[in-house]
Amino acid sequence: MLKSILVTGKNGQLGQSLQKVVIQNSELSIQHAFIFVGRDQLDLASPQSITDFFRSQRFDAIINCAAYTTVDKAESEPELADQINHLAVKQLADIAKALNSFLIHISTDYVFDGTNHRPYVETDKTNPINTYGLTKLKGEQAMQASGCAGAIIRTSWVYSEFGNNFVKTMLRLAKERDNLNVIYDQIGSPTYATDLAQVVLAVLNNEFSMLNDEDNSGEYEAVKIQNSELNIYHYANEGVCSWYDFAKAIFEISNINCQVNSIETQDYPTPAKRPFYSVMNKAKIKQQAGLVIPYWRDSLKQCLMQLEQN
């Protein structure tokens, strides 16, 4: 039986990347009916909008790609960030529980404080150091408390050929300046949104593969989903780098002659603090979803090729 999948945040980086992957993979359209919605149809900043949207609609799964992601601006708009990243997630989780839907929610490496000296595992203590990270953590906690079935996928340094991101900013600035100052003492793992989209779908299909439509009635399926656990996963591309390394790679691969100067975080003050080290251990999702994760430079090449073609 065809599964109905709601995807929020269709105009964001991950939302657009999911649409791209679905269009390119005809099998997905046979297995699932995807419904992509943006803020004009489902506004997570408005509790009433969420209530009204789900009043007459139900879905087998909800993929929440919508989020307040402007890290620095969140420091001056904490209520809005909290509504979108926390309270709206709580509302979606309660709805998923009531409708017996499977909820996939995207979270962030910024739930950690960056003081680790080894990659973070899913069970490590969280301790966000900025408003954005705090609101995302509260969203995770609300989803866990709801009792809904689902998965939380923490990711980091997301970029793509869509929207605003570090890669596109560097390419734009390189046209305007001969040299750039980029921070070298924040370490993490870039994530190509297309790779993340494929992982989201792998997690979804892994969950649905546990339900055999031919052998089980709809009633049995409902019980199965109700008893499903809520898992937390870490996902980013393989390898680690600093923002300085990332910028250097962008220009090297693109054959752009732009001098990149390394600076410390203290030389570039921002409203929001950033973790110095937010590398995540991906062993759990690799094992459970059978993933081979691409190296970050290889995925960066793919993104830059897409940008050039566009």
The whole-model pTM stands at 0.93
132 is an active site residue = yes
Q: Which of 132, 233, 244, 277 is catalytic?
A: 132
Top CATH class of 3-309 equals alpha beta
- Residues 67 and 87: their CA atoms lie apart, in Å, by 11
How distant, in Å, are the alpha carbons of 53, 119, 296 from that of 49?
Answer: 6, 39, 38
Domain coordinates in residue numbering, the chain: 3-309
Helix ranges (H only) for 10-87 are 13-24, 26-31, 47-54, 78-82
Identify the pLDDT of residue 69. Answer: 96
- Residues 195 and 302: their CA atoms lie apart, in Å, by 10
**Pairing assessment for the beta strands 241-242 and 187-188 based on DSSP bridges:** antiparallel
Tens-binned pLDDT, residue by residue, of the chain (310 aa): 678 999 999 999 999 999 999 999 888 777 789 999 999 999 999 999 999 999 989 999 999 999 999 999 999 999 999 999 999 999 999 999 999 999 999 999 999 999 999 999 999 999 999 999 999 999 999 999 999 999 999 999 999 999 999 999 999 999 999 999 999 999 999 999 999 999 999 999 887 665 444 444 444 344 444 445 789 999 999 999 999 999 999 999 999 999 999 999 999 999 999 999 999 999 999 998 888 999 999 999 999 999 999 8
Contact 35, 42 (CB under 8 A): no
Identify the pLDDT of residue 211. Answer: 44
What DSSP letter does each residue of 116-169 carry, written as one string?
-SSPBPTTSPP---SHHHHHHHHHHHHHHHHT-EEEEEEE-SEE-SSSS-HHHH
Identify the pLDDT of residue 96. Answer: 96
**Pairing assessment for the beta strands 230-234 and 179-183 based on DSSP bridges:** unpaired
The crossing angle, in degrees rounded to 10, of helices 193-208 and 13-24 is 60
Q: 180-234 pLDDT, tens per residue? A: 999 999 999 999 999 999 999 999 988 766 544 444 444 434 444 444 578 999 9
Identify the pLDDT of residue 28. Answer: 79
